[in-house]
Structure 1
């Protein structure tokens, strides 16, 4: 017996020494290698990544900073997988500090993403989003992207999608997952594809598209089985089980979910142990096995609270409320519903919603400022070209006939000044499109919904607001857009302006059947100043029903007519109110619009009409204002 123990002990020591020797060999082969990237390191250390002793040894190696950073991040992942999130964050922060001192972009991006994932597990939405946005920003600035940077970009996009998913921004979430999946397909990364299919399945499940969700979960499971990922199998089986429960197949769902508890316990991942227990309790409560259902739900709840899993805590309270309601224990059911609400608000609170809204607007405004800077550079280039052409033309005038030279110079100057004028107009319109007061008032209105706990209204108008901003920035790059796109933008604009009035604005567009809105091209945002004028000078001071209508007709062949009609207080009364105000601000929107329309018509040798009519009744009392614009069709 003693002999056998000694043999086993010797074997263990030999195996440990052999493992350390192998690790030392790998470190030695990589330590002085030039242009070493994280993908190469990941492959080299693949056999040691789950060995905490080996990774601790790697993190303490002197003279091999990339190895130290890799070891710290690997230890952070191991800590996260055992739900030790504080230790995980500490290790990733150490790795980030070392990467920043080394100025190694790949390691900085990887460390930022790892921190984002750990904070997301703790439902710290704001911090998670910050770290992933930083990682994505650094990746975008790298011209020649390595495989490691592409993988990190995919991780950033996927994690940002998960954050939007928590905040129920499903459209934004799916956009991020789709972008991430495109990168993973190029890299042929089956793990990344499995994760993205799983996440898209979650979106479809949230939208109650259960068949589509089930298909995505099964595709994710296939990829996880191919790469032999036990964790992926646990996640997919639970997701498939949830769908089966929702499809009134709780027995089938339970058969999928129950075995994953043991698998999760084997891995030591408390997050997925909690998820499997809560889901098992849910299925058992539907099957009316109340004692076992309560046992699993209470066990999952205790683990969720102990590890600050707010989402799982909320779900556990939801299913416990259903269980007690089914048993007729209504006070307990109500108590659990209240607790569920408390934890739901920790995830989707006013601060997170406001922060996400600010972040979206900030990101879009940064893009807009970049476009303005680009236009200014083009303007400088035109000035430079003007100066150079003047010199060239003067020189040519000396060599050629004086009269021909002078005529040519005059022609070039006129052409360049026109070009410069168009650029200046576009810059001025770009700046005036996004009125700071409009942005501020819109966000304030959305904030009021949040404060009044009208979350659905807040999310609804926040989505409309972000769509309008994106549409404006997208269309501002085009000199002309289709009439259909212009009308869609105007509808979003009126909807957002309308939320600040007690009486809703009744908005309607009447179009002649002969008009093809997709084929007709007009300058972008050309109707907005007229609509803004009608709302703030005509309708804002009116008591009662507020009506705004746009009539679009073909009056004459080759021309299109717009009539913007409001039932406001009329121009005379609006002018009196304006004169009585202490602060008088003169809008340049209509003036700029007229100049843009004249340039548009000039290019096709046609004239435009822009006029206003005061509408009155038989007693000469104002009935509103009609703005008339007649444009040549392009």
Structure 2
């Protein structure tokens, strides 16, 4: 991708800057030679060119000064090789300043002179630099043409490392053009060569972009596999620019897979790195991606804030590719708020830019966006024309996401045009493509890739913790017994005057051990009751029923959600506190799982006030879930059709409150029933735990449960005052 090329260039520049001391010595050495050599000949030209190249990475003004002096001397003598190198260095300077057309002109002049002199290595370097300049100017066809010439020469003269780098850049060009098959072909060539030389930096770059080709083709598991390979190498080499790029791409993957919280977490981690590196292009890309996630969450206000920032930044560096991308996403936002006129303007602007830079992927969505606007405006003929263009492009470049969206829109357009046969065919094709993106293999493979790094460690950790808790309970119980016996003998043997003081010491010691024992026992009971055997048995029974009934897709979805919930519980049980976002994720998965087999399903709402940063608040795990489970098990009559459960988190006066309401029978009614008089074990444990944690955290904790009839409403309201800690921003 364009991002990776910029990252690679940035990394090279940083390496150059890091070696300033060594270069200073080299510069001083060349300057001394220049002072000693006063003759106006080829030797002096070479020394001036060497000084210009040495200053290229640190002082462009001085570099140009030495080039001018070299050029003046070249007017006096005939030295084609010296002139070629002078032009080449000047081209590098213009390219670094984004003067791409001027750079191409200089490289071509240098190329011509090197060809006359028969210097094939220099000729190969010139073609590569011309290719890069065209790439930065978004002329991918000419970029590929020149890179291929460089590769052919490099292979012929045995410069395989150079060939590998240029093959990778050809892959980048095809990737940005949306030709993913060709991109994979050239990236595989580059990977094979780089493996021979164990070139880790180049391999990680290739793996990252190979992941992006699979991402665009809808193969998320394979994309994630390549991203993990790339991230592992970048972390080993401590290449922060590379780490940032991969995190951004993983964010895109999770966004496409509708795991929005994971997407935003990866994007923001990437953005932190990119802000430190002051790299405008990469920062703009990440801002755009965050805007897209908010757009898909239908938070259009935040979406526009991030997208407008991304657009402004992209315009400041004339990054046409990302300008078009921002305009397309803004068009989608305006579609979401039913402002069709502004949406149309954004998609038309994006289409013109994508036509200019030859981006097939960008054109694919520009046409799709226009079709959506015309459909909203009931201009179905124009909508049909544009969606067919989008479908044709998405078919040719193999982008399943856009193919699916095109068929979905075609179904609506044909229906409105009265062509019901084509409407049905389009809808059926949409279903096939949608199922192919979220199919069984994708779900299982993504889960496997996520779990293989974490699941075994989480399971082992939970088992070890269970054993430790059991051992600690036994030890403390023995200590307690010994303490009682020792103090009993002590009391008997102590004189009457020492009884009071001895008793006080005994009670203090006894209470300390007792509190410790209660704490550990309570924690152990919570650990074991976090997912009750009753719930697990019911879940497995439901799953068995689905399998026996031949509901394959439904059973796969149910199993995926169930395993994810178990994984979250295992991870959360290792820690005394977890981020609030993890607790909410567990609740969300629990409710999704419950609704998969509920008839009728529960209407479930989770509200979090804006002043709560769910990434910064730390709370004890599994506090909220038992009360939701109570509502599901006891709150509703079997024949009640409309069932609501709402969770609302607020933060006022330094108190974190969680209010859980339902529209069931109400606590006064359910508590009078014979089968509900027994208090929930999980609720009791939670109450005990809150008392202990409130003291530990030095923050009040408590539970209030009341019937909503006093507010002229139906159901039960539970208010938890949750002990918390806040992670301080570094």
Structure 1 counterpart of 2:427: 337
CA contact (8 A) 2:414 2:422 kept: yes
1:175 aligns to 2:270 (yes or no): no
The verdict on how the C-alpha distance between 1:485 and 1:361 changes in structure 2, with shifts beyond 3 A counting, is closer
Residue from 331, 346, 358 that aligns with 1:256: 346
1:114 aligns to 2:209 (yes or no): yes
1:276 aligns to 2:366 (yes or no): yes
1:476 aligns to 2:574 (yes or no): yes
Q: Per the alignment, in what secondary structure is the counterpart of residue 108 of structure 1?
A: helix
Q: Per the alignment, in what secondary structure is the counterpart of residue 258 of structure 1?
A: helix
Structure 1 counterpart of 2:226: 131
Structure 2 counterpart of 1:611: none
Structure 2 counterpart of 1:90: 185
Question: 1:196 & 1:15 partners in 2: Cα distance?
Answer: 43
Residue from 316, 321, 325 that aligns with 2:406: 316
Q: Deviations over 1:299-337 (max 9, x none)?
A: 221222232222112222233233333334444333322
Q: Deviations over 1:466-521 (max 9, x none)?
A: 46633542441339999x9999979977986897899999xxxxxxxxxxxxxxx9
Question: 2:578 & 2:429 partners in 1: Cα distance?
Answer: 54
Structure 2 counterpart of 1:60: 155
Question: 2:247 & 2:296 partners in 1: Cα distance?
Answer: 20
Residue from 189, 197, 218 that aligns with 1:102: 197
Question: 1:362 & 1:444 partners in 2: Cα distance?
Answer: 27
CA contact (8 A) 1:317 1:337 kept: yes
Q: Given the two structures, how large is their TM-score scaled by the length of structure 2? A: 0.52
CA contact (8 A) 2:177 2:359 kept: yes
Question: 1:441 & 1:139 partners in 2: Cα distance?
Answer: 45
The verdict on how the C-alpha distance between 1:503 and 1:165 changes in structure 2, with shifts beyond 3 A counting, is closer
Question: 1:183 & 1:329 partners in 2: Cα distance?
Answer: 52
Structure 1 counterpart of 2:112: 14
The verdict on how the C-alpha distance between 1:487 and 1:249 changes in structure 2, with shifts beyond 3 A counting, is closer
Structure 1 counterpart of 2:168: 73
Structure 2 counterpart of 1:622: none
Structure 1 counterpart of 2:646: none
The verdict on how the C-alpha distance between 1:264 and 1:463 changes in structure 2, with shifts beyond 3 A counting, is same
Structure 2 counterpart of 1:307: 397
Q: CA deviation at 1:365?
A: 0.9
CA contact (8 A) 1:109 1:138 kept: yes
Q: CA deviation at 1:79?
A: 2.1
Question: 1:14 & 1:481 partners in 2: Cα distance?
Answer: 62
Q: CA deviation at 1:77?
A: 0.9
Q: Per the alignment, in what secondary structure is the counterpart of residue 318 of structure 2?
A: coil
1:221 aligns to 2:311 (yes or no): yes
1:355 aligns to 2:461 (yes or no): no
The verdict on how the C-alpha distance between 1:286 and 1:206 changes in structure 2, with shifts beyond 3 A counting, is same
Q: CA deviation at 1:458?
A: 4.0
The verdict on how the C-alpha distance between 1:436 and 1:72 changes in structure 2, with shifts beyond 3 A counting, is farther
Question: 1:26 & 1:305 partners in 2: Cα distance?
Answer: 33
Question: 1:440 & 1:66 partners in 2: Cα distance?
Answer: 59
Q: Deviations over 1:222-268 (max 9, x none)?
A: 22222322211221122222222333332332222224334323433
Question: 2:568 & 2:243 partners in 1: Cα distance?
Answer: 22
Higher deviation after alignment, 432-441 or 337-346: 432-441
Structure 2 counterpart of 1:200: 290
The verdict on how the C-alpha distance between 1:485 and 1:359 changes in structure 2, with shifts beyond 3 A counting, is closer
CA contact (8 A) 2:572 2:621 kept: no
The verdict on how the C-alpha distance between 1:314 and 1:491 changes in structure 2, with shifts beyond 3 A counting, is closer
Q: Given the two structures, how large is their TM-score scaled by the length of structure 1? A: 0.59
Q: Deviations over 1:182-238 (max 9, x none)?
A: 222222222222222222222222222223222222222122222322211221122
1:543-582 to 2 correspondence within 5 Å? none
Structure 1: tracts of 5 or more residues without a match: 1-9, 29-41, 380-418, 506-520, 537-542, 546-564, 571-589, 605-632
CA contact (8 A) 1:92 1:115 kept: yes
Question: 2:208 & 2:390 partners in 1: Cα distance?
Answer: 28
Q: Deviations over 1:581-602 (max 9, x none)?
A: xxxxxxxxx9xx9xxx9xx99x
Question: 2:639 & 2:341 partners in 1: Cα distance?
Answer: 58
Q: CA deviation at 1:343?
A: 1.9
Q: Deviations over 1:88-136 (max 9, x none)?
A: 1122222223333333332232221111011112112221122112223
The verdict on how the C-alpha distance between 1:474 and 1:276 changes in structure 2, with shifts beyond 3 A counting, is same
The verdict on how the C-alpha distance between 1:431 and 1:338 changes in structure 2, with shifts beyond 3 A counting, is same
CA contact (8 A) 2:218 2:399 kept: yes
The verdict on how the C-alpha distance between 1:13 and 1:115 changes in structure 2, with shifts beyond 3 A counting, is closer
Structure 1 counterpart of 2:385: 295
The verdict on how the C-alpha distance between 1:23 and 1:98 changes in structure 2, with shifts beyond 3 A counting, is closer
Question: 1:491 & 1:13 partners in 2: Cα distance?
Answer: 62
| Number of residue-to-residue matches in the alignment | 506
Q: Per the alignment, in what secondary structure is the counterpart of residue 425 of structure 2?
A: helix
Question: 2:380 & 2:539 partners in 1: Cα distance?
Answer: 49
CA contact (8 A) 1:321 1:334 kept: yes
Question: 1:67 & 1:568 partners in 2: Cα distance?
Answer: 80
Question: 1:99 & 1:430 partners in 2: Cα distance?
Answer: 49
Q: Per the alignment, in what secondary structure is the counterpart of residue 477 of structure 1?
A: coil
Structure 1 counterpart of 2:299: 209
The verdict on how the C-alpha distance between 1:526 and 1:266 changes in structure 2, with shifts beyond 3 A counting, is closer
Question: 1:282 & 1:64 partners in 2: Cα distance?
Answer: 51
Question: 2:578 & 2:309 partners in 1: Cα distance?
Answer: 43
Question: 1:88 & 1:236 partners in 2: Cα distance?
Answer: 24
Q: Deviations over 1:260-287 (max 9, x none)?
A: 3343234333222221122223323333
Alpha carbon RMSD of aligned pairs, Å?
6.4
The verdict on how the C-alpha distance between 1:470 and 1:102 changes in structure 2, with shifts beyond 3 A counting, is farther
Question: 1:131 & 1:62 partners in 2: Cα distance?
Answer: 32
Question: 2:175 & 2:329 partners in 1: Cα distance?
Answer: 21
Q: CA deviation at 1:165?
A: 1.9
